[in-house]
Each structure stands twice: as C-alpha cells, then as structure tokens.
Amino acid sequence: MWKTIRINAKKDLIKTEEYKDAYMGLGGRGLIAQFLNDEVNPDCDPLGEEAKIIICTSMFAGSGLVCANRLSVGAKSPLTGGIKESNVGGSAAKALSDHNIRSIIIESKPKTDEMMKIILIRSDGTISLEDATSYQGMNNYEFVENMQKKYSESISVISIGVAGERLYKNSSLQITEYGTNYPCRAAGRGGLGSVLGSKGIKGIVIQQADEKSKPEYADREKFSKIRKVLNKSVAEASKTNPYSLIGTANTVDKTGVAGIIPTHNFTGTISEKIENLKSDKFMDFVNKNGKNQQPCQVGCLIKCSNIIKDNDGKFLTGGFEYETIALCGPNCDIYDFETIARMDRICDDLGLDTIETGASIALCMEAEIIPWGDANAALKLYQQIADGTELGNLIGQGTVAVGEYYKIKRIPTCKNQAMPGYDPRGTIGTGFTYATSSMGADHTAGITLGKDDPTDLIGAVQTSNIMQHIFAMADSMTCMMTMPTLGGQLDQLAELYNAMYGGNLNADGLFAAADRTLKMEHEFNKKAGWKKEDNRIPEFFRTEPLPSTGKTFDIPAEMMEV
C-alpha cells in the first residue's frame, strides 16, 4: 500500500521500503510514537549519529477527508530532550501521498558538516540526493524561490533556514502553503529544524506526481459515503465558526478580556491596548493588508489561515495565528499587528518557532537588554538572530537558555519549552497539560480553554486528560480545528477507519489508540531520563496571582506526578 523512504545521511543511500504491516493504520503522531520507540535510542544525542527524524502523513492523507492532508515531523527534541511530534498543514503531505509515500526516515549523520543535500522526489517517483552547497546560508523564502525556478513553480518544499543549519534548539521546518507556495507553514515546536540540519539536509523538494497514487480501501463505497457526511458537517459548522470567519486571531477576544493572554512576560497585567488586537481590529488589518479564509492544505474546509501583505502590496506572511500574536505581541508589550506580522515573516524565513522566540525576546526585555514594548528594538533583536551575533545565537537556543544566561527568575517554560498563549493561572487544566504532557508546554498537546474550562482541581485534571487524548487523536488523522465538529462523531470516524483499513474499531477504540500513543510517548521520555517530579509549573505561577482574577495555579505538585 504505502511506501517508506529511508535515507542514510552518512552513506548517501536511499532505500524504498514496503510499509510495515505493524504500522498499517498508523499515521501522524501515532506513527511517530511507534517509530521512535521501535528505532531510536531514547538516550541518544538528538543531534548525534543515533538520532533519526521521521516525516510522515496522517492516516487519512490523500483520502479526501476534510483537513486530513497534514504533515507530522518527529524526533527526539534537542529542546526538551524528549519525544517530539510537530504537526503542520501546507502542500507537502498531499504531494507525498500522491507519490504513495507515507513516511520519510532520515538517519545517521554526514561525514562533514559542510556538505548539505536536497532530497528530490521527481514527478516520475524517482528519488535522489542533490548537492545543496550553493544554497547553504540561504533562508526559506529565497531557497523556495530557487527551487521553484529550478524544478517547477508547482513543487512542494520542506526546508530549513539558517536557524536549522546553525542547529538552534528553537529551529523549525517550514512547509510551502497550498495556494500561495510560500514557506509560511511551520513545524515549529521542539527545535526539529536542527535535527534535519544535523543530517545535512537543507530541504525536501517534491514534484507533482505524473500519476497520482490513490489510497487502498477495505470498502471504498462505505468510505466515500461516510466521508461525505463528515465533510458536510464540517463545512456546515464553518459557516458560523469564528476560526473560519476570522481565523485563530479571534482567540484574543476571549483571552484578552479574561487576562489569560500572556502579557509582559506572563505577569498577566491587562493593558487597554489589548483592544488593538481584538477581532474587529484584526479584520480591519486583514482587509486592508490581505485576506482571510485561506486554506493551508488541499481539502481544508475551515480555512482559518490568511494572507498578509505589506504596505506595497507584496506578500509579507501567511498563517498569521493567535500564538504568534500572543507571544510576539502582548507578551512583549507590543500591540501592533504590522510589527508582529513582520516578526512572523522573519521567523518563517529564518526557520524559528514564533512561540519560543517571542518568549525569549520578552526575557531580553526583562533583562533590560531592550525596553519593554519597543517594537523597533525588538526587530533589531530579530536581526541579530539573522546575523548570528552572540546574542542572536543565544536567543536561537530557546527561552531557558536566555533566562539562565541573564539569571532571570521568571522563566515561563515546562520541560525547557516556552509556554504558548494561555496563562496557566487562568486555565489550570491547560497548565496541567503543560506540565504533564510528553511534549512539554505545547498548545497542541491538549488545551482545556473553552466555555466549560473547569476551575476545580479534579475537573481540570480530568478535562486535561480527555483533551490530551483528543489532540493525540487529531494529530494522527486530521487537523485539530476539525475536532469541535468531528469529536462529536467519533463513531462515524471509527467506521471511516474501518472502511479504509478493515476491522471493527469503535469510538472507544479511537480513544484506546490515542491512549497507546500517549503511553508510548511517556515511555520514550522515561527512558530518556524524564521523571515524574519533572512535571512542574514554574513557581511564580503559584505565588503571583493573576491580576484579572486574583487566582494562582493551585493544582498540587503531587497530583501532577503522573
């Protein structure tokens, strides 16, 4: 059915393997958890010889299910020291599925750090390693432009910028977006760009397949019937879904008023300037400088992405999302969309996670390197990252590195990874996820923020556990943005799985599969050296009340030792 492409970076060997029977039915996060447990030594150096990186599609990629053309990138994280799966949209997953490729595994290390390669998947399905020496030191936008000139404008590209080449622990992989072909979709969290860089791979270029492969189905007719129902339900929901109508930036309307959005390095102080970042102002900004309701992948019916242009009408950035706005904006006392959009563009170009970078810039402000809220000074710090100055290199290594270097007490991280856009004092279930997740502080691990976000300890823990399972499920099959709709149709999703792969899975079986994924991740991290007592929230969240509510994070430490 599917193929696995295995590449030995030391020997320049490419091997096409039949997809393992044991992996049949796995995709995305679930496949990564299984693969890393099967093939990677948890105690390895994430940037060393034993480390491996896997790039794979979801279990329903290429099937026509709504938002199923997701790409997952997995490895041992150089930032957290544990397992990492980073999930992203863009055009690459569909391009790989058209070539009948479920996964690409890159292992070993090149003999010299000075030789970089491009993995080229040609339209006829042949695969080669091409010399990338002339592209070293090139950032993502220029690299993609060069690849399009050389191999076709319609290619899909997975690439790293100089951040990945320099092995920054905050480096991302960038994926070209469907419809724009710009590298504005980021597999950002965990520093996985540095893992690809350590393998000497500058990028993966995928030409459109001459003959597009079609998935095999246990029952094609049944699959098509169920898929139609599920797709229609998401399409109907999107008509009133604020993520569809506005984008993820609409989250500011809830978190800003509640004081949950991070401000001034997670002090939680509410500024009246937060009004500048609410949905109505965002729509004014988008309508003036671009457009919203942009699909990031083939088959996206939610269209929560956007295109942002500069004052000259040229493309500036895309996928301008809440997490970037929160961490690069209010967390740094910056309340200007145009400035934050420029920061987003720089991060995508260099190949940096915007969450980690925004948190790191805020610590530079706390250390009095630059003034709070000084947008121009902040942009100069971004330029220092691009230039590879001593300070720029420090910022590229992540928030903990910056905080420890300047001896800052308030470092908002869990498992060495910066917290995303939700203060754990205002959503304690989310804080529980930050502390206990195998991914570290990560909004894609299972946030509990919503109309029923519980404030009691037992309810918060239970909700976090449910959401961690749901997010693990989503990252294996489709976009998490579909889950508010598809999450209520798990029996149908299970039947869809059966129609594709065979068997008699039910809704409980989907949860069981997600549970296996979570357990495999935790087992990997345990072997990597993580301990239960590492499940901690920074102390200042327990001692400093959130100004909007007067509450602290109050889940006892012993409840988090799970």
Q: Residue 36: pLDDT band by 50, 70, 90 thresholds?
A: very high
- Based on the domain organization, do 289 and 366 belong to the same domain? yes
- Based on the domain organization, do 36 and 142 belong to the same domain? yes
Q: Does 416 fall in a domain?
A: no
- Calculate helix-pair angle for 507-528, 28-39, nearest 10 degrees: 40
Whole-number pLDDT of residue 376: 97
Query: Distance between CA 145 and CA 153 in Å, rounded?
Result: 8
Percentage of the chain modeled with pLDDT above 70: 99
Residue whose C-alpha is closest to residue 177's, from 167, 169, 187, 168:
187
- Based on the domain organization, do 270 and 200 belong to the same domain? no
Contact 37, 74 (CB under 8 A): no
Residue whose C-alpha is closest to residue 246's, from 323, 288, 302:
302
Tokens 């997670």 sit at which residue? 266
List C-alpha distances in Å: 65 to 150, 223, 232, 246, 497.
32, 10, 10, 23, 11
Q: Does 31 fall in a domain?
A: yes
Whole-number pLDDT of residue 257: 87
The secondary structure of residue 504, as a DSSP letter, is -
- Based on the domain organization, do 116 and 197 belong to the same domain? yes
CA atoms within 13 A on the CB side of 458: 0
Q: State which of 347, 380, 405 marks the end of a domain.
A: 405
Checking if the pLDDT of 441 tops 80, the result is yes
Residue 112's contacts (CB-CB under 8 Å, 6 or more residues apart) are none
- What token pair was written down for 13? 């060997």
Rounded to an integer, the average pLDDT of 61-69 is: 97
- Based on the domain organization, do 117 and 195 belong to the same domain? yes
Percentage of the chain modeled with pLDDT above 90: 96
Checking if the pLDDT of 306 tops 70, the result is yes
Tokens 């080229």 sit at which residue? 120
Q: Does 211 fall in a domain?
A: no
List C-alpha distances in Å: 506 to 23, 286, 293.
19, 42, 33
Residue 216's contacts (CB-CB under 8 Å, 6 or more residues apart) are 1
Whole-number pLDDT of residue 114: 66
Q: State which of 354, 379, 405 marks the end of a domain.
A: 405
- Based on the domain organization, do 199 and 274 belong to the same domain? no
Query: Distance between CA 257 and CA 270 in Å, rounded?
Result: 8
Number of domains forming the structure of the chain: 2
- Predicted model pTM: 0.97
Question: For the segment 17-34, what is each residue's pLDDT rounded down to a tens digit?
Answer: 999 999 999 999 999 999
Q: Does 508 fall in a domain?
A: no
Question: For the segment 393-434, what is each residue's pLDDT rounded down to a tens digit?
Answer: 999 999 999 999 999 999 999 999 999 999 999 999 999 999
Q: Residue 112: pLDDT band by 50, 70, 90 thresholds?
A: confident
The amino acid that residue 437 corresponds to is: S
Q: Does 130 fall in a domain?
A: yes
Rounded to an integer, the average pLDDT of 453-472 is: 95
Tokens 């699909």 sit at which residue? 295
Q: State which of 371, 405, 439 marks the end of a domain.
A: 405
- Based on the domain organization, do 259 and 201 belong to the same domain? no
- Based on the domain organization, do 306 and 366 belong to the same domain? yes
Sheet holding 315-318, edge to edge: 290-294, 305-309, 315-318
Query: Distance between CA 66 and CA 328 in Å, rounded?
Result: 31
Checking if the pLDDT of 311 tops 90, the result is no
Rounded to an integer, the average pLDDT of 218-241 is: 97
Checking if the pLDDT of 115 tops 90, the result is no
- Based on the domain organization, do 294 and 345 belong to the same domain? yes
- Based on the domain organization, do 24 and 172 belong to the same domain? yes
Q: Does 411 fall in a domain?
A: no
* Average pLDDT of the chain to the nearest whole number: 96
Domain that holds residue 144: 3-206
* CA distance between the termini of the chain: 38
Give the DSSP H or E segment for 16: strand 13-18
Whole-number pLDDT of residue 289: 85
Cα Rg for the chain, rounded, in angstroms?
22
CATH of residue 43: 3.60.9.10
552 by DSSP, 3-state: which? coil
Checking if the pLDDT of 316 tops 80, the result is yes
Q: Does 218 fall in a domain?
A: no
Whole-number pLDDT of residue 123: 98
Q: Does 499 fall in a domain?
A: no
User: ∠ CA(420), CA(260), CA(268), 5° rounding?
Assistant: 95
CATH of residue 325: 1.10.569.10
- Based on the domain organization, do 264 and 144 belong to the same domain? no
List C-alpha distances in Å: 49 to 32, 184, 390.
19, 30, 27
- Based on the domain organization, do 171 and 258 belong to the same domain? no
Residue whose C-alpha is closest to residue 51's, from 205, 194, 204, 202:
194
